[in-house]
Amino acid sequence: MRHKKTEQPVEPWYRQGWPWFLIAWPATAVVAGIATLVIAAKTFDGMVVDDYYKEGQAIVQTLGRVEQARKLGLRAALRVRSESIHVELSATEPGSLPPSIRVTVAHPTRGGLDQEMVVAGSAGVYELELSPLGTGRWLFVIEDEARSWRMDGSAYLPAETEIRIDPNA
């Protein structure tokens, strides 16, 4: 007695699971690549400096300006509030205090949040208004308008609202 093989109908490829499983891996990589491209296009991390010699010269000049602040005996006390900074500047010779100062508030990783302003004051007291600062570490730089001296400090806001900057320390 002979048995005839019964032929089962073959399903088309798109109704089987294995092809879709094999297509899913490359499709996932394409979607992840597009998502990475969109993130890279929307966020700018800043450009890497390509002229290291000039950057090194700027660092040497900055160190010289910090040394000048040290020679003048400058010290600063900053009180940071939500939308303002109160700066009290003192020197060994009170007559050497400038009528106006340049204050830069910079975020270490997000250049778009940096703020720079020149503010006038009297007797070493300066009050400046600024955009609200978010939570995180912030860098504070104080210079005279001629940029002959410089002092800098940092604080983690909102925990540290009183900042003392003393180049002699």
Q: What angle do CA 18, 19, 21 make, to 5 degrees?
A: 65
- The first and second tokens of residue 53, run together, are 């010699």
Q: What is the pTM of this model?
A: 0.66
pLDDT of residue 64: 83
Residue type, 97: L
CB atoms within 10 A of CB 126: 24
pLDDT recorded at residue 115: 92
**What is the pLDDT, as a whole number, of residue 47?**
64
Q: Which two tokens stand for residue 161?
A: 């609202």
Q: What is 74-165's CATH number? A: 2.60.40.10
- Return the bridge partners of 116, or none: 104
Give the model's pLDDT for residue 93.
Answer: 84
Say if CB 152 and CB 108 are below 8 A apart.
no
Q: What's the DSSP call for residue 101? A: E
Q: Per-10-residue mean pLDDT for the chain, 169 residues long? A: 71 90 95 95 72 70 84 92 90 86 91 89 90 90 90 90 87
Distance CA 155, CA 161 (A): 7
Q: How far is CA 88 from the centre of its chain?
A: 25
